[in-house]
Every structure is written in C-alpha cells, then in structure tokens.
Structure 1
C-alpha cells in the first residue's frame, strides 16, 4: 500500500472548523481519479462512484479535523496568548511541561510553544514567534514517518480515514453498489459536518472510518485488523448486524476486532439523529497515543480495512444482507 498520500495528509493543518487544507487535498485527489466532487458548504465534501442504477448506496465517510486549540485571548505583546482546546488534544505535561506547536494566522503559519495554564482550567498559554490574534488555530507539529510495519504521525485521528477515501477513489472503478466517499468537518468538536452530510446523502448503509484506542483490557491491538465499535455514545450495533459481519470476516478471511464503550463516539450518531434508517458501522483503526503529538498505527490494519471496504462494495449480496440485518424482522 502506497502511504505517500497519508504522509501528505498528516502534514496539513486542519482543526475543527478550519479544515480547508484537507478538504482541498481530497477534492483534488477525487478529481484526479475522474470523480465529480460535491461540496456542502463548510460542513462536508463528497464524491460518487456509480454502480448499477438499482443498487443500494453505501456511504463511506471520515472526518477531516484533528484536535487542536483556538486562541481566546491575546496578551499585550501580541506574541503571547491563552488558547482553549478544540476536541481534546493531549500531551504528557508531567514529563514534558511545554509542547512545540504551529499557529495558523491570517498571514501564515509559525512556530509556538504551549504550556498548561496555571490560572485557567482546560486552557494553554501560548508563546509564538509571530503576531497572533483571537481565533487563530493551533495544532501539534506535522510530523509523519513510516517506521517498519507502523506509521507514526500527528493527526492519524483521522487522516487515516481521509487517506482511505483517497485510496478507495482509485480502487473501485466498477463497484457492485453505488458508493459515496465523503469527509466531514468538526467531528472532534460539534459534529456539525456529519449532520449536514446525513441530511444531504440518502444512503442504505453508512460506514464511518476513524481511529480508536489500542486497549489491552479489550484485546484491541495494533496489527489485529480493523475495529468494529459494537457500542459507544454514538452507536449500538444489534446482534443480527454483528452476526453478518462475523460471517463475512470468516468467509473473506479478513480480521475484525471489536470494542465496547459507553462514552466517546464518532460521526455515527448523526445519521439516525437526522432520520436515516441506514445501518451505521464504525470501522476503525487502532492507534496508540491518540490525540497526542505522536500517534502510532499498524500499516497492516490500514490494508485490512481497505480490503474490507473494497470487498464489501464489490459484493452486492453481502451488502444486501447487512442492510437487511439493520431492519427489525428482516435478518
């Protein structure tokens, strides 16, 4: 699997509400593959890969933003400020009291240093090398590299999902179903993008791509394959749907891990909230260091998830079985 697009995506600055760089990257990639993108304001972008006219529609989506900070208050010298978090960025401030970062201003980007505020909770103090203003966005330095069987980078949550959207654009020239590739804004803070996407695209099956936590207690590990969320604050997968996925995993000889939480979540919540009847499947990639300056994921998990998605979209019977399992009395 060529990871060059993933590394390129991980070098972009994209915090909640300021996803322009990633959106432009995806639109350009989709056009290069001969697709005609659709833009839904500043909330979502999409591209359709047509299958048979009577076939169901499978929506595969990922969010474009990663956690960061927004400048709330600028001090008198204009190079020091207080910023608040957007989406829960984190670093180990016990071992590392300060953290290098990048601030994006109206005149360009520049380096800055973050330290936990001693005066305000859930805030950081910012010292920059350029003038900054209220509303400027801050993210961790865009570091990305492949190390053996793993990829390490800031923002793997969720440049992994966006990378798969670029990969799939060239991997499914003749799907058995109608495929919509889509990317949303503000998943990490607000969830507005997925709500707009859900209202604009009428899908029969929805797959949300994202990163999740490697978790020893649940046996979720790097290299164990994609992770299906059976339960969290955004989704509850019924046993009939899970039965189908278990059978497909065995038949296709593709790995599938599962996780259960009663908190956290993905864009999955938006679709039933907007009245969609489509089953929603969060298919995720396990990572270590989630939301930190250095996240780590296994390349084999990306390859396995790509295989799952391409196989599903080329198998109309499997897709129909999953859709039926999402309806009471139909499985």
Structure 2
C-alpha cells in the first residue's frame, strides 16, 4: 500500500523518466517490468506475470474483453566475441543502424557490476575519418580492459550490452528526449490509462509484452492465452517531419495505423479510433507505410483471429539513443483510449 501511495504521488514526467531510465533489452526486461508493476498496481484489479515474462494487469468491467499491448523491451546488443586486447564485438538485438551508434556510451551487464565503455571503429580509435558506412561487424566496444580482465568480471558470450543516453521529460515545449522511447512511451500511456479509467465498460487487459524488438514473441503468447474480443497495440512510429512534406509529425496528435510493413489494421478498429478522436476533438494522424510493424501484427493472427488496431506516438530519431517526442501527443493518446473504453464497441463485423 505504501509503495502504491508513493507511486501515485509521482508526476507524469517522473514516471516516464523512470521508465526510460531502466535498461531492458529484449530478453532482459525484468527491471522495467518490476517498475511498471509498482506503478500500475494501485489502479488495477489483478496483476500477474506469465511464463514468457509478459506483465498482465486487468481492470474488470462488464463488456468486451480488450487487450491493450505495449512492449517493454528496447533495442541493444549482445557480446559475440572478444579480442585479446579486450575489444568486444556484438550481435544486434532489434533494428540497429550501426552508423547511428559510433561514439555512443554503453555498459555491459556483467555479473560483478556494470562495465562502461564506448562503441567505436578502428578509424575513429586511430583518429581517422570513417571512409564507409559501418556495419555491425565494423563497430566494437572499447572499455579499456583486456579480455582476461573482462572475463574476470564475468563478461562472456551472451552478456547483454545496454545503450546509454541523456534523458529529459517535459523540457522546453513539452519535449521528451532519450533512449528507449520505443516503447516506454507506450508503457507510460497504459499506466496513465489505467489511472484514468474509473469504471470501464470493457474487461481491459493491459499487457506489457516482452521481445517485441526480436520477433513480437511476447504478444503472441499473451494474445493466445487471453483470446481477446479485440485489441490495440500502443507503440511509437517514425516521425518524418524533418522532410519537406511529412506524413507523421511530432506535436500533431497520436498516429492511427492503417497499414505498416507487416500489418493491415482491422477497418472497424480504425473507424472506432477515428470516430472517437473526432467526437472528443482530439487531433490525430493516419499512417500507411511500407516498413516496420508492432505487436498488432501478431495479435491479429492468434487463434481464429483478433480484430486489431495500432495507435502510436510519432518519434524523431527512433531506434537511437536520441529519441524525441512531444508530451502533448502522449496525453492525447491517453484521452483517446480512455474515451473509447468508456463506451467500447462490442462487436467488430467482418
């Protein structure tokens, strides 16, 4: 009870900063899961962790069974080999552009404590210009330690490597900055939604999934177990407002997905979201892209099929440690989902 009271007294910036500050590369989400559990527990009726590691929080209501999914995991690296001099080469976990991470601080999650270092290349280390776009094979971690010293600290093949960054929430202009905005923003939206829903007319399951960045495995097992009437994945998407004619911008409302690289949204779920946004005078954007996807693509295909949509927040520099989003879009997403679930549709006709 005391923990719940303390959690409730946190400001929204504090909670989101806390979410971003945790490290949770796919397959190692336990730390962020414990934090989410602490934050959401006072506002739900049931809470559990399944065998896959998904956190499932239920808010009971008479009505359709609704699954809202937000993945907890983030992109990162894993040790693949170590040279005698201590240079560490890694395999990527999730979609990583190596060029975006040269010079980025990292830490190895070693059994005997974190070991800090930087991602670099041979050219950068030698004070030369990079001549070609680096691949994952070209970048390595330099900690200043030898292989023997690293091994004495417990570093081995399979050790997780976490990407570090500066974090700022609610800076000037309501800006959110930092790593892992994909998808701690989605997790934050579900926590705030649980607070906002007082007496939902749906049986709502807030599902914080694992391993989305590495195959959407958590959403698959959770959706199969819950067998919801319909679902929505809450995630982030690429803002392209650095270009002249953007289709997804920060500060212009949450993004309703019509299609992505692996998912065509259920038309009636898309219609519900658009109609609710218009009724509540909430700004929104539509998305039809050729790349990327969310947990929605997995949820919709379990069992006999689940009518599924996706609601995202536009983020600049997504899948880097320099993500940038606007708090106003996040608040609008909470408002939109809360309005939808206060009087939820029960049937999605085929």
TM-score by length of 1: 0.88
Q: Secondary structure at the match of 2:168?
A: strand
Shift, 1:218, TM fit:
4.5
Deviations 1:40-62 (A, max 9, x none): 1234110100012xx10111110
5+ residue gaps in structure 1?
A: none
Q: Secondary structure at the match of 1:5?
A: helix
Does residue 200 (structure 1) correspond to residue 225 (structure 2)? The answer is yes
Which of 104, 107, 115 lines up with 2:109 in the alignment?
Answer: 104
Q: How many residues align?
A: 317
Question: Could you tell me which residue of structure 2 aligns to residue 73 of structure 1?
Answer: 81
CA contact (8 A) 1:14 1:22 kept: yes
Does residue 49 (structure 1) correspond to residue 49 (structure 2)? The answer is no
Which of 69, 82, 85 lines up with 1:61 in the alignment?
Answer: 69
Counting strand residues as a fraction of each chain, which structure ranks higher?
1
Cα pair distance change 1:133/1:117, threshold 3 Å: farther
Q: Secondary structure at the match of 1:145?
A: coil
Q: Which moved more, 1:223-232 or 1:83-92?
A: 83-92
Task: Give runs of ≥4 in structure 1 deviating > 6 Å.
Answer: none
Question: Could you tell me which residue of structure 1 aligns to residue 275 of structure 2?
Answer: 247
CA contact (8 A) 2:26 2:74 kept: yes
Cα pair distance change 1:267/1:34, threshold 3 Å: closer
Question: Could you tell me which residue of structure 1 aligns to residue 128 of structure 2?
Answer: none
TM-score by length of 2: 0.84
CA contact (8 A) 2:273 2:340 kept: no
Q: Which moved more, 1:84-93 or 1:256-265?
A: 84-93
5+ residue gaps in structure 2?
A: 1-10, 124-133
Deviations 1:175-207 (A, max 9, x none): 111110011111111221111111111211211
Distance in 2 between the 1:97 and 1:180 partners?
40
What does 1:173-188 correspond to in 2, within 5 Å? 173-188=198-213
Question: Could you tell me which residue of structure 1 aligns to residue 129 of structure 2?
Answer: none
Which of 135, 144, 164 lines up with 1:141 in the alignment?
Answer: 164
Question: Could you tell me which residue of structure 1 aligns to residue 330 of structure 2?
Answer: 302
Shift, 1:266, TM fit:
0.6
Quote the RMSD (CA, aligned, Å): 2.2
Shift, 1:109, TM fit:
1.8
